[in-house]
Amino acid sequence: MWNPDGSGRHPPVDLSTQSSSSSSALLGSIRAQREAREAHRRRQAAATTVQRVWRGRTAAAATRQDILTSLESGASVGEGARALLLLLRGRGERVRVARVLDSWTTAALASDPNGPAFRSLLMADASGFGVLLARILRFVSTNPRTETSARLLSVLETFLKPAAYADIPDRAAEVVAALGSNAWVETLSDITEALAAAKRRHALLLPVIRLVTAPSILVPLTPASPLVAPLIHTFLAVPALPSSIPLPSLTHLSATLPLFTVLLPTAAANPSLLSQGRLVGELERTYFLANLATFGITGGMLARSGTPGMDAWMAVLGTLLPTLGDGWGMWAERSVSGGASAVPLIDNDDSEEEAIVSSAPVRARLPPGVAKPLALLASPQHVGTLASHAITAGSLSHFSEFALSILGAFRGSPKWEGTLDALLDGSRGRALVKLLWREGVRGKWSNKADQWTWFSKNPNKPMLLLVTHLFSHYLLLTPDDEFFSTSNPLSLDEVLELSSTWRDLAFWGYLNGVGTDARGAGTEAERRLFTQGVVRITERNGRRKFAPDEHWVMDADLRSGFIDAVKYEDELLETGGAVKYEHGVVAGGTGGDRVAHLQQRMSWRQLANSHVSPRLGLLINLPMAVPFATRLQVFREFIRADRKRLGIRRYGPARHRVEIRRSHLAEDGFRQLNSLGSGLKNIVEITFVDKWGNQEAGIDGGGLFKEFLHKLSKEAFDTERGLWLANLRNELYPNPHSYASEPHQLAWYGFIGRLLGKALYADILVDVTFAGFFLAKWLGRQSHVDDLASLDRELYRGLIQLKNYPHPEELSLTFSVAEDEFGVAKSVDLIPGGSEIPVTAENRHEYIALVCKYKLDRQFAAQSEAFFAGLSDLIDPRWLRMFDQNELAQLLGGEEAPIDLLDLRKHTTVSGFDDERTPAMFWRVVDSFSEDQKRQLLTFVTSCSRPPLLGFAHLNPPFGVRNAGQDKSRLPTASSCANLLKLPDYKDEAMLRAKLLQAITSGAGFDMS
């Protein structure tokens, strides 16, 4: 009751303001008093709880003492069982409990004419008896290494012998159900791990393992049994189980544990079991997989399991392996080899500019008993056995998921490539690829955008992914002669249809973006895989054409405004978001901040692949899906944007003025222009100086620089100068001789790279043809054995013969190559001590790869690096990677196509003639020329034998024909700097033809008039 004087139950609350200096002080005082009251109540509640627990514990201890006293004074088997059920719920008094357990179990096992005494317990309460056995086992688990524990384990075995239950099978089922519901398997798993930790192959593990299987011997297991789940997610996750138990126990376990008949099929049907119990962490799942590998692969159980067992095995592994972290396979492999325990994941992808690097967690090294079995999961024998099964049993979908899980788990490990090699091996590999193609790809995918949007929901996804991995790997390893032979598992039409599926999915992957499996869209890794497949097919097609023109192009699916969108995305990445899209969408503020933030964490390529720039990602990664004309326009737009950024006007004032002596053209050009570096992008005005030292008349509006570039390129690429060599097709590549790598020569390679960059930057065609392998380097591609054909066809043929030669030891080859410089022979080791290592059937593939790497990379390394450094001063390498090597050749020198005379005539400027008679005769004469003669005319006028890309409308300056006067004895001349033909006003067609042919074949040329 409340009293005004504060003497009631609650302490008084002072509401006056006399002692408070402010309202905040008053509120603080009230709050403090309230918190004090709450603390007082909490203390009282805690005291009450302590008292209650103490009284309960005291009462329980007293009851325990009473039960122990009762049991020690003697009790019947039934009374003793009921007492023990209560007693074994608690802890303590272990010695006394052990004594009464000994006494009771002796009495329970005593026999009379009706059998063992414990049968009466079974008949009265079989479930209670099962619970009692589980509690006895739990008592053992508290200290399993004592003599008492050993006796009790033996007693438990006796209690579960099938003979005691022969006539009461229903009671046996009740006992087993009670064991399963009372952590029987979990307790035995803890005992197993404790004993194994104390001593490997501990003697007490013999009865423990027998107790694990005793219930399943008593009552055969079914998927519904409560023992099945803990056997899967707990017992099989005991670390290094097979190597920790005695050999008799291992034999017993292998013979009696229904691994392939019950456990794995149940886990396959209920995948959630694989994330319960101990299988919640990566380490425990690793133990589980190692145990499976030992039982299934080493023990041969998998090979004997039949179709259902193999399918369940593949399903379980296919479920578990994808849940493991990055670098798991490398971790397992390094644990065997003794490498570093912290393994970063590095997965090289030769279709990417950078390696894909993920940070793997730091993991402790696995024990050998765990690590070695894990390596068997990716062994050729294991993978091959399951591949054969999938082919014969038609289990391609299950097998595909399994194989993909192996590839994912061992990504970044040498076993990743070994798995692909095993799957592609021999006739089985060809049959597998063919079946995957027929069952998972042919006729099952369309080119619509929703195929990517719902990619992860498509039931054929695993088969498509696996055949993509396999055939992409096949493309990487297989030389052209084998690819175009009958040994190819797919016909060329099938290859094209498969590549069309890859193209469609990758195309929509870039335009619509990647997602997660839950959303349905394909992932970044899947998009990259399809892109890699398309790139490898197009590289093959570039060397030997087998695809129709425009096969890769998705022109109809490119939305309008594509080029403007690409320009916007590129500027967005370059500026961190502070640009305005031409169609009115402003990327500033929050969006710009987001891009700038991404720039700090991602490379340019990663940004291009992201949602920030889908069209740019398409151009960089899958350029062949975009029409060549569109890509060429994008290339020119990039250059235009670069000029704008630098303030360069195409026809603005010159930034650099140089004098070039015609007699020292290369020397003067190198001396005055090489040091400009990227400054060569600016306008360069050329003044020629004749052999008498006089400046030639004329103002350079771009034509004189073009003439200088053409003349210098002819001189620089002359093979007599020693910087370049030519193959049998007269295609150029850097001279590999050592003198070409001297500093002065390397400076020249850099200068030539800048000149070609200037030609591309200024849209000037250069009449030069490079070897295919060298052009591939412009695109950042790795070199392959087939690229060697464009360097040394004889060596290429020899290596292909070596690849198929039955006894390479007979050839007496070593891991070295012979070189000849100026008549001096020398041997170069491909690997340390290579001249002492013979080439054999086992290592010939490595030898072939090393020869290719040396010939195509090592011997040109310095020269190529200098050249590309110069080229990149003017041309961003990513701009060039929108093209393949054949398109790059066209970009440099024009189209390798017949000259379209109608197009030339349409875009030719004719001037100075009184009437159309002479021009008409000119066109009739040119029309009668052979293709070679037309090319000679084009070279005569423009300095390049090939027509410009996309036609003569893009020739700059335009092709021109001008009246050169009435002197009909003169030959036609040309100003190639202006693309101008100076044609005397011939009135006779035969004379015009004869004079024109004489001019274009005699080397007559530049005229400054």
Burial pattern 481-511, b for ≥16 Cβ within 10 A else e, equals bebeeeebbbeeebbbbbbbbbbbbbbbbbb
Q: Which of 608, 648, 614, 616 is nearest to 635 (CA)?
A: 616
Residue 716 parent element (H or E): helix 703-716
Which tens digit of pLDDT belongs to each residue from 297-321? 999 999 999 899 999 999 999 999 9
Residue 183 lies in a domain: no
Mean pLDDT along residues 256-267: 95
Q: What does 50-67 look like in DSSP terms, one character per residue?
A: HHHHHHHHHHHHHHHHHH
Q: Which of 778, 767, 751 is nearest to 860 (CA)?
A: 778
Could you tell me which residue, 191 or 654, shows the higher pLDDT?
Answer: 191
Which tens digit of pLDDT belongs to each residue from 350-400? 433 333 334 567 888 899 889 999 999 999 999 999 999 999 988 899 999
pLDDT at 79 over 70: yes
pLDDT at 425 over 60: yes
Q: Which of 1009, 956, 1008, 960 is nearest to 981 (CA)?
A: 960
β partners of residue 346: 357
Alpha carbons 870 and 751: distance in angstroms, whole number: 6
pLDDT at 1005 over 50: no
In this prediction, residue 699 has a pLDDT band, given cuts at 50, 70 and 90, of low
Mean pLDDT of the chain, nearest integer: 84
888 with 762, same domain: the answer is yes
Find how far residue 632's CA is from the centre of its chain. Answer: 29
Residue 162 lies in a domain: no
Alpha carbons 770 and 541: distance in angstroms, whole number: 18
463 with 548, same domain: the answer is yes
Q: How many domains does the chain have?
A: 6
CATH number of the structural domain spanning residue 846: 3.30.2160.10
Q: What does 415-431 look like in DSSP terms, one character per residue?
A: HHHHHHHHHT-HHHHHH
- Contacts of residue 846, defined as CB under 8 A and 6 or more positions apart, other chains included, come to none
883 with 744, same domain: the answer is yes
pLDDT at 888 over 50: yes
- Contacts of residue 199, defined as CB under 8 A and 6 or more positions apart, other chains included, come to none
Backbone phi, psi, residue 545, to 5°: -65, 130
SS3 101: helix
Could you tell me which residue, 768 or 652, shows the higher pLDDT?
Answer: 768
Q: What number of other Cβ atoms are within 10 A of residue 152's Cβ?
A: 21
- Contacts of residue 819, defined as CB under 8 A and 6 or more positions apart, other chains included, come to 825, 826, 827, 828
Torsion (CA) 473, 478, 483, 485 in degrees, nearest 10? -130
Backbone phi, psi, residue 644, to 5°: -65, -40
Contact (CB, 8 A) for 440 and 396: yes
672 with 583, same domain: the answer is no
Residue 573 lies in a domain: yes
The predicted pLDDT at position 569 comes to 80
684 with 772, same domain: the answer is yes
695 with 843, same domain: the answer is no
Residue 931 lies in a domain: yes
* Domain termination residue (choose one: 626, 643, 676): 626
Alpha carbons 669 and 682: distance in angstroms, whole number: 15
Contact (CB, 8 A) for 599 and 560: no
Residue type, 117: A
* Domain termination residue (choose one: 24, 42, 65): 65
Contact (CB, 8 A) for 309 and 260: yes
Alpha carbons 376 and 371: distance in angstroms, whole number: 9
The predicted pLDDT at position 568 comes to 81
752 with 883, same domain: the answer is yes
Q: What letter does residue 444 receive in the DSSP assignment? A: T
881 with 739, same domain: the answer is yes
Sign, Cα dihedral of 715, 718, 722, 726 = positive
Residue 136 lies in a domain: no
Alpha carbons 879 and 881: distance in angstroms, whole number: 6
Contact (CB, 8 A) for 344 and 327: yes
Q: What number of other Cβ atoms are within 10 A of residue 468's Cβ?
A: 23
Alpha carbons 390 and 435: distance in angstroms, whole number: 10
Mean pLDDT along residues 717-735: 91
Alpha carbons 416 and 470: distance in angstroms, whole number: 11
Mean pLDDT along residues 452-467: 90
506 with 524, same domain: the answer is yes
SS3 734: strand
Residue 682, both tokens: 């600016």
Q: Any idea which residues carry the catalytic annotation? A: 977
Alpha carbons 621 and 401: distance in angstroms, whole number: 27
Range of the domain at 563: 558-626
692 with 759, same domain: the answer is yes
- Contacts of residue 824, defined as CB under 8 A and 6 or more positions apart, other chains included, come to none
C-alpha distance from residue 270 to each of 263, 357, 858 (Å): 10, 34, 55
Q: Which of 799, 774, 730, 728 is nearest to 481 (CA)?
A: 799
Q: Which of 21, 20, 150, 135 is nearest to 88 (CA)?
A: 135
The predicted pLDDT at position 209 comes to 95
* Domain termination residue (choose one: 39, 65, 91): 65
Find how far residue 434's CA is from the centre of its chain. Answer: 24
Residue 173 lies in a domain: no
pLDDT at 584 over 90: no
Q: Is the pTM of this model over 0.85?
A: no
Residue 846 lies in a domain: yes
Taking phi over 0 as left and psi of -120 to 50 as alpha, with beta for the rest, 349 belongs to: beta
765 with 822, same domain: the answer is no
Contact (CB, 8 A) for 534 and 622: yes
434 with 545, same domain: the answer is yes
Which tens digit of pLDDT belongs to each residue from 116-150? 888 888 888 999 999 999 999 999 999 999 999 99
Burial pattern 98-115, b for ≥16 Cβ within 10 A else e, equals bebbeebbeebeeeeeee
Contact (CB, 8 A) for 73 and 65: no
Residue 913 lies in a domain: yes
Contact (CB, 8 A) for 977 and 706: yes
Which tens digit of pLDDT belongs to each residue from 496-531? 999 999 999 999 888 888 876 545 678 888 999 999
